[in-house]
């Protein structure tokens, strides 16, 4: 796997650690690529312990001194992989699992800050995730991990919180009615960017979005001012007016270019649309198809393209920067892809991939039983038989109350057992309800017969 260019360590001891880290990273990559068997907790923990051992040696050498060389790049790759492995084996609430998530949040925050285009929903989602990370770091006292990792995550979290606070300030400068207009403009801008990157460009779709912009424009009075019912200028009027102007200009540009990318940047565009489309597909079927470690390859490719920018833009072979249309299009695809990665990480279940087939079946059963209950229940006990048979077949897979895969007891036993119990409870409630219904019907028939 490519590692971003960086100088080799000058210290011979660091070079030795670099060699060891390279071996650990390669073992992690081999384990990630092996689809012939489930990833086992013991295999991950063995490599994680080796990684922590190397970090301890590195800390003793550097003694708090900050350096940046190839060792740090390989170390980052190792932690990123280990983090995704922790998600894959179901240990999603432990510190190592949070590493990859903080990396993605930092990317998202950088892009939101750079673009200056974000909605309250964006900020609320990230704030909620940072709050969960707080809990993970606090709970680490009961299952301590590498102090280096805990300190690194705490620093990243504080940095993201600071960036989040700055973005919130910018929204707070808008009066409440304008915040709603601002959010609508952001939504329209993103919809236009999506239409601009579809395989088949739809002029009609973009024109409809442009029409929505003109509806908002019609509410402006006195040369670009938003006012309340009493005629007072709303706070933040200039900010929203400027965003509206940008949206209208973008709509004209998109309609003019119709998704056509210059030859010099077609390769980056095709790579990014391919990543975006693949992540979108995974996000729809993630419960059945995602192995969290797969996200590593997407991240590496995105990071590589994102970090190839010079002063915020890409250069062609002659060193000329991409025009604004190309820059915005590529940045949209990168940000959208990071957004999907963030969503997939947040959707990771606290269950090992070895138990995911059972867990997903129970999730489906639960949804079916809830739907049956909310739509009026069953008309006879016989209709409950397929659900009962499936639940009993899953329950019978347990040995001494645990689900065994091979000779292993995978992570997530509590989550699967809890879900199984919920399904049995729902099944019992439906059974009681239908029996009461049948009993009521029988009593009514007996009364009619007696009459």
Does 392 reside within a domain? yes
Quickly state the pLDDT bin for 287 (edges 50, 70, 90). low
Quickly state the pLDDT bin for 221 (edges 50, 70, 90). confident
Does 320 reside within a domain? no
Interatomic CA distance for residues 442 and 432, integer angstroms: 15
User: Could you report the per-residue pLDDT of 359-397, keeping only the tens digit for each?
Assistant: 999 999 999 999 999 998 888 888 999 999 999 999 999
Does 162 reside within a domain? no
| Residue at a domain's end among 229, 257, 285 | 257
Q: What's the confidence (pLDDT) of residue 443?
A: 56
Q: What's the confidence (pLDDT) of residue 140?
A: 64
4: pLDDT strictly greater than 80: no
Does 400 reside within a domain? yes
More confident residue, 240 or 230: 240
Residue 212 neighbours by CB distance under 10 Å: 17
Does 218 reside within a domain? yes
Which of these ranges, 26-30, 89-93, 271-275, has the smallest mean pLDDT?
A: 89-93
223: pLDDT strictly greater than 90: no
Interatomic CA distance for residues 19 and 5, integer angstroms: 16
190: pLDDT strictly greater than 60: yes
Interatomic CA distance for residues 102 and 154, integer angstroms: 10
CA angle 126-129-130, nearest 5°? Answer: 85
Does 348 reside within a domain? no
Does 229 reside within a domain? yes
Reference 102, options 149, 139, 70; nearest CA is 149
Q: What's the confidence (pLDDT) of residue 327?
A: 96
Q: Is 250 in contact with 189 (CB distance < 8 Å)? A: yes
Does 272 reside within a domain? no
444: pLDDT strictly greater than 60: no
Mean pLDDT over the full length of the chain: 90
Q: How many domains does the chain have?
A: 2
| Residue at a domain's end among 195, 226, 257 | 257
Q: What's the confidence (pLDDT) of residue 197?
A: 97
Summarize the confidence of residues 168-184 as an average pLDDT: 93
| Residue at a domain's end among 257, 280, 298 | 257
Domain membership of residue 184 as a residue range: 176-257
449: pLDDT strictly greater than 60: no
CA angle 302-306-312, nearest 5°? Answer: 165
Quickly state the pLDDT bin for 152 (edges 50, 70, 90). confident
């Amino acid at each position: 796997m490519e590692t971003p260019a960086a100088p080799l360590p000058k210290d011979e001891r660091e070079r030795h650690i670099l060699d060891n880290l390279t071996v650990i990273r390669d073992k992690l990559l081999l384990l990630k690529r092996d689809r012939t068997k489930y990833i086992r907790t013991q295999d991950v923990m063995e490599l994680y312990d080796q990684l922590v051992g190397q970090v301890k040696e590195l800390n003793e050498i550097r003694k708090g001194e900050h350096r940046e060389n190839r060792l740090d790049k390989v170390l980052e790759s190792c932690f990123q992989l280990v983090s995704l492995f922790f998600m894959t084996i179901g240990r999603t609430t432990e510190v190592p699992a949070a590493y990859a998530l903080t990396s993605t949040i930092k990317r998202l925050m950088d892009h939101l800050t750079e673009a200056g285009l974000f909605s309250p929903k964006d900020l609320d989602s990230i704030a909620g995730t940072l709050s969960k990370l707080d809990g993970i770091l606090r709970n680490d006292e009961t299952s301590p991990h590498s102090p280096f990792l805990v300190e690194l995550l705490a620093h990243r979290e504080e940095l993201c919180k600071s960036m989040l606070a700055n973005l919130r300030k910018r929204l707070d400068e808008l009066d409440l009615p304008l915040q709603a207009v601002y959010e609508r403009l952001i939504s329209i801008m993103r919809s236009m960017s999506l239409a601009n990157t579809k395989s088949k460009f739809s002029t009609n779709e973009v024109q409809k979005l442009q029409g929505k912009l003109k509806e908002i424009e019609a509410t402006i009075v006195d040369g670009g001012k938003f006012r309340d019912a009493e005629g007072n200028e709303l706070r933040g009027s200039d900010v929203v007016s400027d965003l509206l102007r940008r949206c209208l200009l973008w709509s004209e540009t998109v309609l003019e270019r119709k998704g056509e990318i210059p030859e010099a940047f077609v390769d980056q565009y095709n790579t990014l649309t391919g990543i975006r489309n693949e992540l979108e597909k995974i996000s729809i079927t993630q419960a059945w198809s995602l192995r969290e470690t797969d996200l590593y390859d997407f991240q590496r490719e995105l990071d590589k393209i994102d970090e190839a920018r010079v002063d915020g833009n890409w250069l062609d072979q002659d060193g000329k920067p991409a025009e604004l249309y190309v820059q915005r299009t590529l940045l949209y695809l990168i940000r959208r892809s990071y957004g999907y990665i963030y969503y997939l990480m947040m959707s990771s279940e606290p269950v090992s991939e070895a138990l995911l087939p059972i867990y997903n079946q129970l999730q489906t059963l639960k949804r079916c039983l809830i739907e049956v209950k909310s739509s009026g229940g069953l008309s006879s006990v016989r209709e409950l038989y397929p659900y009962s048979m499936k639940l009993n077949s899953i329950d019978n897979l347990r040995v001494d109350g645990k689900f065994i895969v091979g000779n292993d007891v995978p992570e997530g036993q509590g989550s699967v057992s809890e879900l199984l119990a919920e399904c049995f409870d729902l099944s019992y409630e439906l059974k009681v309800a239908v029996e009461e219904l049948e009993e009521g019907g029988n009593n009514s028939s007996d009364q009619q017969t007696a009459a």
